[in-house]
Every structure is written in C-alpha cells, then in structure tokens.
C-alpha cells in the first residue's frame, strides 16, 4: 500500500480546509524520547515519494525530510524518558501529538492521526487511522519528520554516551544495547518503566 491524498480530499469535501497529519516515533525503545510531528502541506507542494518512514531508506528519509520542512508547515514535540516514566508511554505520546498540533504555525481545522486514538485535548476534529503513515500523505510526511528528528537526537546522545551504541540502534532493545546496559547501567536517557 502506498499513501495517497484521498483521506485529505475526503476531509476537504466535508468542509475542512487545513488538514494536519500527525505521527510519532519512539514508543518502543528503552532510551530516548518519544517524538511527534505534525505537518500541514502548503497548497500544491507535496513531495514525491512519501511513504511510511519505516519503508524508506535512511538516505531517502533525509531527502524527503529536507523537502517537507522546506515547503510544509511543520511542528515537533517530544516527551522525555522521565515524562514517559511518570505518566506512561501512551499518555506521553498522545500529549506530544497534541503539543505538535498546537504549535503548528498554520492552525489546522482537521487532524489525521496515525494510530487508534484521536488524542484528547485537540481543539480540532480528527480521525484516527490504523497504519495511517502507509495510507495518508500528510501522516506519512509527519512520520518522516518525526523519525529523522528522533534519529538525529539519538545520534547526538551517542556522542555523549558512546558506550551504548545509540547511533546504531536508536535506543531500541537490541542485544548490543542490552549488553551495554548490563555493563554500564542506565543513563538518565533510559526509561525505567
């Protein structure tokens, strides 16, 4: 399945004009933040080749990221490991999504959200989309922006904590990361919950 513009077009036929796509990355790792992105396309400026960020190479994600941030309205929000531990990953994720939408420079009137839930606290009407990043162009764009941003954060953390291999596994619980935790213990960037 390749994402298309049908869900955005459907919202527009119901009277909505400014459609935002929202997605997150980083729910499953042992370390690092969960990061949400919200994207509203400028009229007629949708980069070619958008897809679920997990289906793209790192190089292609980087190319598309640059095109998206150069032409679209974009906002990001993250929740730290401490926040995740304090409120749980689901609540932290949904809160980050709301903050990303609320900080868009162009206020949307409808939000297409990857996942099962339209976050409480959104001021706009919205629709939850299972596998939305593979179905909907603005959600695919948000998935790319969130993924590239979080990956860059983890590379930055790797420079500060080189014993953990964050640049390679981005905080996920691969054997290399598990071994580093056994040897060195957790950092302040690890989740305890």
Asked if residue 41 lies in contact with residue 138, where contact means CB atoms within 8 angstroms, the answer is yes
End-to-end CA distance of the chain: 34
Classify the C-alpha dihedral 50-148-25-79 as positive or negative: negative
Identify which of 15, 9, 18, 10 has the alpha carbon closest to the alpha carbon of residue 111.
18
pLDDT tens, the chain, 193 aa long: 799 999 999 999 999 999 999 999 999 999 999 999 999 999 889 999 999 999 999 999 999 999 999 999 999 999 999 999 999 999 999 999 999 999 999 999 999 999 999 999 999 999 999 999 999 999 999 999 999 999 999 999 999 999 999 999 999 999 999 999 999 999 999 999 9
* Per-residue confidence (pLDDT) for residue 43, from 0 to 100: 86
d(CA 98, CA 36): 9
* Per-residue confidence (pLDDT) for residue 99, from 0 to 100: 98
* Per-residue confidence (pLDDT) for residue 1, from 0 to 100: 79
* Per-residue confidence (pLDDT) for residue 44, from 0 to 100: 87
Question: What's the whole-model pTM score?
Answer: 0.96
3-state secondary structure of 78: strand
Q: In what order do the strands lie in the sheet with 19-25?
A: 73-79, 34-40, 19-25, 110-114, 125-129
Q: What is the largest CA-CA distance in the chain?
A: 57
Tokens of 52: 């679920």
Q: Label residues 27-65 b or e (16+ Cβ within 10 Å = b).
A: eebbbbbbbbbbbbbeeeebbeebbbbeebeeeebebbb
* Per-residue confidence (pLDDT) for residue 37, from 0 to 100: 98
* Per-residue confidence (pLDDT) for residue 112, from 0 to 100: 98
């Amino acid at each position: 399945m390749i994402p298309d513009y049908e869900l955005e077009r459907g919202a527009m036929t119901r009277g909505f004009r400014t459609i935002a796509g929202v997605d997150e990355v980083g729910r499953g790792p042992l370390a690092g933040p969960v990061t949400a992105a919200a994207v509203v396309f400028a009229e007629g400026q949708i980069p070619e080749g958008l897809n679920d960020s997990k289906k793209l190479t790192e190089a292609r994600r980087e190319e598309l990221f640059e095109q998206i941030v150069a032409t679209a309205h974009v906002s990001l929000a993250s929740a730290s490991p401490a926040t995740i531990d304090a409120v749980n990953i689901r609540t932290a994720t949904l809160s980050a999504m709301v903050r990303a939408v609320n900080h868009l420079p162009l206020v949307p009137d409808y939000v297409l959200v990857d996942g099962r839930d339209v976050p409480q606290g959104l001021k706009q009407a919205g629709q939850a989309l299972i596998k939305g990043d593979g179905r909907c162009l603005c959600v695919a764009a948000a998935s790319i922006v969130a993924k590239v941003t979080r990956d860059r954060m983890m590379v930055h953390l790797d420079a500060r904590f080189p014993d953990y291999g964050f640049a390679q596994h981005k905080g996920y619980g691969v054997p290399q990361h598990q071994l580093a935790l056994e040897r060195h213990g957790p950092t302040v960037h690890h989740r305890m919950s």
